[in-house]
Structure 1
Amino acid sequence: MHRWSPLNERQLALLGWLASSKESDEPWDPGELRTAYALRDRGLVTIKRSGGEVDAQVTEAGTFYIQHGHHPDDPAHAREEKTAKGKAAGGARSASYADRPVALARRTKAKELIERLVTDRRVTFTKPDDAAVTEWRRVIDYAKRHSLSPEGKRIESLRMWNRDLQISLVEGPHPNSLRQRPNEAPLVRVPSQLRSPHPVVAALRDDAGRLVMPASLRRRSLLLLQGLAAEAVRRGHTVKDHEVPSRRRSRAYTTHDGRHHPSSYSLREGELDLRVGA
């Protein structure tokens, strides 16, 4: 496959969304990341990752593809490039993304979804594939960004344990919108060295079977836990060890009769409990 090979429907939809949308609060799923990296390999987007955050930006070549429908390096269109650049800005190829088929189709689906949710409150899709889940997340994001939900309500999506996708219309703002802004919240100091740690943190440090991870991450985790423990004590709260079960099962499983058992606390993890008041 060449750098200038035509994009498939999923790649084209993601490229258009990245070029036109605002930031989304929906996390990237593996299928979306694979599509984004395919676009990067063609020089259409750049990708930067920091921790769990993904920053994907459309390049000049990506903008060209959206405007002209082909890669600027495509030799089949080399003779047409000058002609295409000379077309009027209001021509069909220069139309805004909001007027393009992908955006129009997504707006239609978003409106239809809202109408169903207003009537039924909840819509469930049985075992959709990754492409369908990605598209529905885009539709939900479109509805959020364009304020299509009824006043005082919001859309929530949930991938169930049996792989069904459940979309609901619920009351009130998202809980995250009610939290303190980072610049308004009081700071919790994290020590640079683990000196005189809280007994609970010291017990985690000395137990090689807890907080099983690379040494640098383990040290950072202990420093974070110590910062939280010290601040909790300063505020008059109680810090206690998190009870470790004798069974070390940590993965979720489903029995033959269809009963789902979520993952349990693992001995390899490390937690502490903060008790506020009663």
Structure 2
Amino acid sequence: MARTKLSERQLDVLRRICHGEKPVTSDDSGLTTTVYALRDQGLVAMTRADGRWSAAPTEAGCRHLARTDASLAPRSNASAPSTAPEAAELITRLQQAGGTLHITTPTPDERARWRRALHTARADHLVPDGHHLRHTGRDKGDLVITLRPGSPPRRSAPPGESVPVPENLPPERLHPAAAAAHIPACPDCQPRARRILHALCHAAEANTYTVSNPETGSAASLVITIGDSSFPLSLHEGSYEVPDPSSAKYAWQRVTARTTRPSHELELSLEHTYAHRGRRTHWGDRKQWSLEDKLPALFREIAHRAHTEYERQQAQQRKEEETRQRWLTAMQQARTALLEDHRLKALRTQVQAWQEATAIRAYCDALEDHHATSGKAEAATAWATWARDYADRIDPVPQNPGTPEPPAITPEDLRPYLRGWSPYEPKRG
């Protein structure tokens, strides 16, 4: 099959799929057109499950990428910045900069070169032991690259394509969280509902998640925790309305009242939050499937939310750290400026005192010369003697002054020098 030359964006997406650093799925809606184009050329394959697709490399795609990268290797720095020397330079610059490089609004070519340098640093094991690389701004905005201690965070992977629910399970073998869960369901549905929760608990723990019961007063049946994020799950039975014959007092009376009856259909729901607006929140029994069939989709949604929240937390922490660093810089500059003003004030005071003492001595010399010719030298000498004593007292030069001691600095002393920053904490005001 003849293939057209891939664009830079298509190559980047193909690298991401082949290297497997971050899965490419339908969650990346902005990549859909690119992935379809790669699929049409036989470079990637797309698998579908529960209305979602994920991309995987084909053998042809891996060969094509290897040939492309090999052809780029001998080029100059401008066209192949993913070489080992440049990747090593990236690590060196990160270490010298304290672990963070901030590239302001790079061009698309620059952004691509930085991404290739990142890939080479990882692939060639140039990252120092006990550290990992992270970056934000892959496709737009500022590019921020960080070298962080610890192992790279692993994206939460949902369990396999099935979550086995036992058909029969004695109550004493139920998972403790499933046994204690609050489930609004009729007695006929309770055993099945608890078996479903039992399966959820074991699948979650097998994937290193934490399972617990909610706090008292919560309507949730179960809470699954991934890292710092907790996701309350509610399991309940549906209902439907029917006419209520008992409301009629007479046989001829029209029945208008209605009552609800359990539907024997179970439904699981995740809490709807603004942070995950537009995401699916309900899974339940339908004519075409049962709730048990949808448990893998539920886990995928939980994993997606956990990863999204982790990325948001990391972005917020980076933003707070950047703000804190700017504030610390502003505080240091404010202290330097205040100390400079303190020294200038002392210097001007000394210069003024020295100029006054010099002028007084010159005046005394002139006074004595004048009175020596007028025959009144005695009176002039007494006044000049006192004046010279005063000049000696205020003259700073004989006192050998040095750099003045720094003053005691309070936060409010720094406020005039902070240009809008608070002198107490990293914020404006």
Q: TM-score, normalised by structure 2?
A: 0.34
Q: TM-score, normalised by structure 1?
A: 0.47
Structure with the bigger percentage of helix: 2
Greater C-alpha radius of gyration:
2
